[in-house]
């Protein structure tokens, strides 16, 4: 087979066929299984959307109830996993803690038969249920506290927020958080999903698949950008400093965190929904001056960078919502991970249905026929 043209970062190269989600980067459109994200944010819940992504259709109310109950009943983590998390360094990054915890989960639930729908369902439910618990457990234990046990009477979003500080959240705050999860649940073949696909294609277990994806999401060019955005807004400090900050960034050819996207050449539709959520949060819980800085930065960046198709992406406004919810910024990317679990699992399931091992080729740029030089002659 002839080797095709090398595309750095595989830009524009289809890596798979998929019917899970669709992005139109020029129109600013994102659909999950054909349904526009804006519609899901208004009418659906994160768990219903997860079901849609993973099983390909919206559930009946009986199916949704069963899915929710199954997840609720599997939220607890084994004491051995809790003990392991307790031994992590307090200053470990929560994404590293989560990646290690998910990898460890795989030791407790052995590999099953990929043709067995029940095995797939149980692994799916377990990962959706336990990832938030592991994030919250590390957060509590790094502060020297016992982890907060999940509460079966709380929905998915409320329970996660509750496990972070043992306070039942305001219902509006929980609903807004649930919408944030829905918004981040899936996004075609991005870097972490591609990592998941490659790992899945070796027929390893689903915990290894999600572990790979988490490691990939953590980087600042991908999911790690939401934490970096908050650091950037803090560094700017006030609206008056925006112009100088932006000029400095452009002069040094440094990237603005939360801006730009491989696919979107207009404002990311998720950033638009997130901005609406920011307004809702502020109406209810008070304004945050970092939003004024973000708005001014977006305005000035538009003048300087929009001709290159650089606009705010999903990570630009998400941190402002999480901050208002009282979540520390180094947990932001773990929230992205919690939200993306259904997307990764949907791709895992799709990959298994028609698997072929990923094994691309390379353009070799090295030497040939080099004579080995003995160490004393080097």
- Contacts with ligand ACO by CB under 6 A lie at 9, 190, 221-223, 225, 255-262, 305, 308, 310, 313-315
CB 27 → ligand ACO: shortest distance, Å? 18
Q: What is the DSSP letter of 93?
A: -
CB 333 → ligand ACO: shortest distance, Å? 10
CB 342 → ligand ACO: shortest distance, Å? 16
Residue 269 phi, psi dihedral angles, 5° rounding: -60, -25
Residue 243 CB coordination number (10 Å): 12
70's CB contacts (< 8 A; 6+ apart) are 125, 129
CB 357 → ligand ACO: shortest distance, Å? 26
Give the Cα separation of 161 and 155 in Å (integer): 10
Task: Give the residue at shortest CB distance from ligand ACO.
Answer: 260
Q: Cα angle at 271 between 267 and 276, to 5 degrees? A: 125
Determine which one of 178, 205, 268, 315 is catalytic.
Answer: 315
Residue 105 or 257: the one with the smaller Cβ distance to ligand ACO is: 257
CB 186 → ligand ACO: shortest distance, Å? 11
Give the residues across from 259 on adjacent strands.
312
Residue 148 CB coordination number (10 Å): 18
Residue 93 CB coordination number (10 Å): 18
Q: Pairing mode, if any, of strands 29-32 and 35-36?
A: antiparallel
Residue 41 or 256: the one with the smaller Cβ distance to ligand ACO is: 256
Q: What is the DSSP letter of 169?
A: P
Active site residue 288: no
Residue 131 or 246: the one with the smaller Cβ distance to ligand ACO is: 246
Cβ distance 206 to 197 under 8 Å?
no
Residue 80 corresponds to which tokens in the numbers above?
A: 């051995």
CB 79 → ligand ACO: shortest distance, Å? 34
CB 268 → ligand ACO: shortest distance, Å? 7
Residue 129 or 274: the one with the smaller Cβ distance to ligand ACO is: 274
Residue 332 CB coordination number (10 Å): 26
- The 3-state DSSP class for residue 222 equals coil
Determine which one of 93, 184, 261, 347 is catalytic.
Answer: 261
260's CB contacts (< 8 A; 6+ apart) are 310, 311, 313
Residue 259 or 348: the one with the smaller Cβ distance to ligand ACO is: 259
Residue 307 or 353: the one with the smaller Cβ distance to ligand ACO is: 307
Q: How far is CA 178 from the centre of its chain?
A: 14
Nearest Cα to Cα of residue 40 among 174, 186, 217: 186
Residue 7 or 368: the one with the smaller Cβ distance to ligand ACO is: 7
Residue 372 CB coordination number (10 Å): 5
Active site residue 315: yes
Active site residues: 261, 315
């Amino acid at each position: 087979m002839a080797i095709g043209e090398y595309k750095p970062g595989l830009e524009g190269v289809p890596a798979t066929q998929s019917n899970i989600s669709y992005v139109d980067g020029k129109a600013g459109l994102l659909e999950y299984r054909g349904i526009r994200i804006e519609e899901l944010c208004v009418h659906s819940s994160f768990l219903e959307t997860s079901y849609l992504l993973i099983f390909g259709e919206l559930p009946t109310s009986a199916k949704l109830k069963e899915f929710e109950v199954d997840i609720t009943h599997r939220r607890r983590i084994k004491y051995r996993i809790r003990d392991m998390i307790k031994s992590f360094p307090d200053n470990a990054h929560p994404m590293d803690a989560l990646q290690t915890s998910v990898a460890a989960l795989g030791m407790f639930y052995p590999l099953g038969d990929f043709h067995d729908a029940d095995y797939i369902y149980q692994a799916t439910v377990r990962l959706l249920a336990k990832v938030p618990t592991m994030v919250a457990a590390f957060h509590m234990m790094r502060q020297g506290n016992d982890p907060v046990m999940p509460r079966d009477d709380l929905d998915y979003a409320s329970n996660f927020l509750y496990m972070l500080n043992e306070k039942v959240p305001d219902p509006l705050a929980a609903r807004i958080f649930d919408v944030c999860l829905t918004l981040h649940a899936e996004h075609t073949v991005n870097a972490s999903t591609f990592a998941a696909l490659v790992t899945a294609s070796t027929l390893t277990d689903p915990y290894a698949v999600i572990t790979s994806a988490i490691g990939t999401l953590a980087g600042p060019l991908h999911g790690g950008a939401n934490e970096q955005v908050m650091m950037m807004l803090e560094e700017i400090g006030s609206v008056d400093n925006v112009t100088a900050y932006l000029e400095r960034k452009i002069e040094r050819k440094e990237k603005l965190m939360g801006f730009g996207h491989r696919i979107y050449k207009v404002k990311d539709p998720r950033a638009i929904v997130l901005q609406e959520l920011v307004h809702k949060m502020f109406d209810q819980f008070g304004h945050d001056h970092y939003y004024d800085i973000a708005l001014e930065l977006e305005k000035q960046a538009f003048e300087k960078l929009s001709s290159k198709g650089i606009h705010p992406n999903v990570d630009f406004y998400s941190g402002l919502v999480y901050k208002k919810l009282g979540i520390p910024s180094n947990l932001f990317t773990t929230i992205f991970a919690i939200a993306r679990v259904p997307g990764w699992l949907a791709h895992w399931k799709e990959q298994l249905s028609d698997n072929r091992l990923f094994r691309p080729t390379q353009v070799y740029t090295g030497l040939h026929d080099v004579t080995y030089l003995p160490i004393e002659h080097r």
